[in-house]
């Protein structure tokens, strides 16, 4: 079961609409829809709110997300302890190809070398 399917299942188990869940965690109903359709992944702080609201763990929700990330990328961005970069990385759409992620990695490396 992928992230979106888990989210739908838990939301329905708690008898919540997308709009109700969105309001509880401080996002829009269209954001919940994007998560449920696996078009976007939530940033960590939203993931924690989802897990808390749905009575589960982030580990449970993320189980397949790690597999999707490995399948769709080469883990192109080491997160280097930067919360803003981590948030940005986790919001990347699943649709980025391996080629596109590698290009982003190269850009990041060039910018990193510029600061040295």
Tell me the per-residue pLDDT of 76-104, one tens digit each, with 9 for 90 and over: 444 445 566 666 666 665 556 667 767 77
pLDDT of residue 60: 82
For the chain, which residues make up each domain, given as ranges? 3-70, 77-114
Give me the percent of the chain exceeding a pLDDT of 90: 28
Tell me the pLDDT of the chain averaged across its residues: 76
Residue 111 to residues 4, 20, 78, 104, 105, Cα–Cα distance (Å): 34, 42, 14, 11, 10
Q: What is the structure's pLDDT at 65?
A: 45
Q: Are 61 and 53 in contact (CB under 8 A)?
A: no
Q: pTM above the 0.75 mark?
A: no
Distance CA 2, CA 55 (A): 18
- Token duo for residue 90: 């986790």
| Per-residue confidence (pLDDT) for residue 22, from 0 to 100 | 94
**What pLDDT does residue 28 have?**
92
Q: What kind of architecture, by CATH, is found in domain 3-70?
A: Orthogonal Bundle (1.10)
Q: Which CA distances in Å does 28 have to 25, 40, 49, 68?
A: 9, 13, 14, 24
Specify whether the CB–CB gap between 65 and 41 falls below 8 A.
Answer: yes
């Amino acid at each position: 079961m992928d992230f979106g399917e888990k989210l739908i299942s838990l939301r329905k188990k708690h008898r919540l609409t997308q709009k109700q869940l969105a309001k509880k965690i401080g996002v829009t109903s269209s954001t919940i829809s994007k998560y449920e359709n696996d078009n976007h992944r939530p940033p960590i702080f939203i993931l924690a709110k989802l897990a808390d609201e749905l009575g589960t763990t982030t580990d449970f929700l993320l189980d397949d997300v790690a597999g999707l990330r490995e399948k769709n990328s080469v883990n192109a961005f080491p997160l280097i302890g930067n919360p803003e970069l981590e948030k940005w990385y986790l919001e990347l759409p699943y649709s980025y190809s391996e080629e596109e992620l590698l290009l982003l990695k190269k850009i990041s490396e060039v910018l990193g070398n510029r600061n040295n």
